[in-house]
Amino acid sequence: MRATNLFYLLTLVLLTGCFVSKDTPKKAAKEDPYEINNQQDNRSLADVLRKYSSLTIQGDGDNARIYVRGQSTITLETQPLFIVNNTNMGRNYASVNNSINANEIVSVRVLRSLSETAIYGEEGNHGVIIIKTKNAKM
């Protein structure tokens, strides 16, 4: 009788410890926009993007390849979509790198989840990088 009560008590403790409440976050908090305060001359867009743990950058200059971590694909296109000052710039890093001055970037936000990238449709399947510059018209 005593062993049975002990068994039920231990089972209750075990089940209580395994309970997940509604307040438990389902995933880590999303990365907040990184406000760029350290202005350095002659830095590239790749240098700015390297500050984000959610991005992988391979190479430098116009030949750099940007990947959003956690995104996989069965197609050959793996580059994220770039949005600069609310303008869709496509997935070509070289054209984005040549069209903006990295020293004028004010903030960068990386969207990774499907719920965040859904408004960009199929173009946003591999993540979205939103860049705001000093001369952005709000």
Domain that holds residue 42: 23-133
In a domain, 5, yes or no: no
Q: What is the pLDDT of residues 44-68, one digit of tens each?
A: 899 899 989 889 899 888 888 998 8
Sequence-separated contacts (24+) of 33-39 with Cβ below 8 Å: 33/107, 33/108, 33/109, 33/130, 34/107, 34/108, 34/109, 35/106, 35/107, 36/105, 36/106, 36/107, 36/108, 39/103
57-116 tens-digit pLDDT: 998 888 889 988 876 655 556 889 999 999 999 999 999 999 999 999 999 999 998 899
Count: domains in the chain: 1
For residue 84, is it within any domain?
yes
CA-wise closest residue to 128 among 114, 104, 112: 112
Q: What pTM value is reported for the model?
A: 0.68
Residue 37 has pLDDT above 50, yes or no: yes
Q: Is residue 15 part of a domain?
A: no
Q: What is the pLDDT of residue 78?
A: 81
Q: Residue 8 domain-assigned?
A: no
- What confidence category does residue 24 fall into, taking pLDDT thresholds of 50, 70 and 90? very low
Could you tell me if residue 16 is inside a domain? Answer: no
Per-residue tokens: 79: 């580059």
Considering the domain boundaries, does residue 14 fall inside one? no
- Give me the CATH number covering residue 92: 2.170.130.10
